[in-house]
Amino acid sequence: MSLIKLLRKQNRKLLFTTPSHAQKFFIFNKFRQFYKYDISETDTHNPQAALSEAQNRAAKIYKTNYTYFLTNGSTSGIIASVLACTKKGDKVLIWRHAHPCHHNAVVLAGCEPVYYDLPSVKDWGIPDKTTPELINIKGVKAVIVTSPSYEGIVSDIKSLKQICEKNGAYLIVDEAHGALYPFSDKLPQSAVNIADFTVQSLHKTAGGLNPTALLHVNCNINPEKALSMINTTSPSYPLLASIEANINYLNTSKGRKKIDGLITSIESMKASIKNVDFGGDDITKILIRKEGFTGYQLSEKLFDEFGIEDEKTNEISTMLLCGIGTSSMKLERLKKALLKL
């Protein structure tokens, strides 16, 4: 049974259970629909079984051993991965300037962090990719790599996996910004079928609600116990159902066409702009720089004169994030602004 269908079912039983709003008492009236679908594990329709089936179907779509739906972001996926594949006292190799959840995961697991540094792409002011040499360290139980980076720099996950295998370490890939990758050949290769654990934030680029995300497992470690240690026992079924709908959409020809349409629109926008430079490995992250401007000046000008807010800026460049919901009208406005710079 699909989670989405299950939530639509009317419950005719007299439930003396949580949640106490009983799908009928709307304290925040604007969220009526949300309350209506907000059921508990105790619901007689057995939502746990439907969740488990939905996750199994997702694993088939992604061709993974397991895929778990997360309602506390990629953050919880990283923590669960580290908890699942390490023991107290193990060493875990992480990038010194990674998202804070990497360090927090290592600390929560009682492990010892070992750091690696990334060189920078000097003429863009951003961190470069992770290479096998940078993580070729013996005696670590797991390695966490961020790919793509915030700015769309993508590492060669296959070669990273090979080096991890040689050193007997699990590879955890933070693909928080790459949730669209499995659904288009025009995007970089996803880590979901290569790394031992891959996390993706659906809410960042794939149209998901905050903070929906996925944890994909490619090895034979089942992270269920680790997940149960950090997750609530009262998950949000509306959010979980939205994850099921999200994956189903991305996996339809309509969803794939939408992603390809986004890529084509960005490609044509880029082709018509000659007065700024474009960088990065992922076309959906529009990384720009302009001679005579620092990244901060460029960002300020875009905001002050054109009302355009970027996602991330550094001394040299600025990045405008696109995702499945970025309309061609929005890109057209960006194009006009960039041409006027």
Give the interface with ligand PLP as residue ranges (CB under 6 A): 73-75, 99, 101, 146, 150, 174, 176-177, 201, 211, 213
DSSP string, 283-326: TTEEEEE-TT--HHHHHHHHHHHH----SEE-SS-EEEE--TT-
User: In whole angstroms, how large is the CA radius of gyration of the chain?
Assistant: 22
For residue 198, give the 3-state DSSP assignment.
strand
Q: How far is the CB of 177 from ligand PLP (least distance, A)?
A: 6
Whichever of 202 and 259 has its CB closer to ligand PLP, that residue is 202
Cross-strand bridge partners of residue 94: 115
From the CB of 77, what's the least distance to ligand PLP, in Å? 8
Rounded to the nearest 10 degrees, the angle between the axes of helix 253-271 and helix 237-250 is: 70
Smallest gap from Cβ 213 to ligand PLP, in A, equals: 5
Q: Could you give phi then psi for residue 338, rounded to 5 degrees?
A: -65, -40
3-state helix, strand, coil in the chain (%, to 5): 40, 15, 45
H or E element, residue 231: none
Q: What DSSP designation does 135 have?
A: G
In contact, 289 and 316? CB cutoff 8 Å:
yes
Q: Give the CA count within 13 Å in the CB-facing half-sphere of 326.
A: 24
Q: How far is the CB of 74 from ligand PLP (least distance, A)?
A: 4
Question: In the complex with ligand PLP, which residue's Cβ is closer, 50 or 243?
Answer: 243
Q: CB 214 → ligand PLP: shortest distance, Å?
A: 10
Closest residue (Cβ) to ligand PLP?
A: 73
**Closer residue to ligand PLP in complex, CB, 217/276:** 217
Q: Which residue's CB is nearer to ligand PLP, number 146 or number 198?
A: 146
Which CB, 177 or 335, lies closer to ligand PLP?
A: 177
Instruction: Please report how close the Cβ of residue 148 comes to ligand PLP at its closest, in angstroms.
Output: 8
- 146 versus 246: smaller Cβ distance to ligand PLP: 146
Looking at 143-294, list the stretches that DSSP marks H as alpha helix, in order from N- to C-terminal side: 157-166, 202-205, 224-230, 237-250, 253-271
Question: How far apart are alpha carbons 284 and 320 in whole angstroms?
Answer: 9
3-state secondary structure of 97: coil
Euclidean distance between CA atoms 270 and 277, whole angstroms: 9
Minimum CB distance to ligand PLP smaller for 71 or for 326:
71
Of the candidates 98, 63, 62, 66, the residue with the CA atom closest to the CA atom of residue 81: 66
CB of 306 to ligand PLP, least distance (A): 25
Closer by beta carbon to ligand PLP, 43 or else 188: 188
The phi, psi pair for 116, rounded to 5°, reads: -120, 155
In whole angstroms, how close is the CB of 68 to ligand PLP at the nearest point? 14
- Of 146 and 326, which has the nearer Cβ to ligand PLP? 146
Minimum gap (Å) between residue 283 Cβ and ligand PLP: 18
Token pair 């994850």 in the structure block, residue: 243
User: What does residue 43 show for φ and ψ, rounded to 5 degrees?
Assistant: -55, 140
CA distance 186 to 167: 32
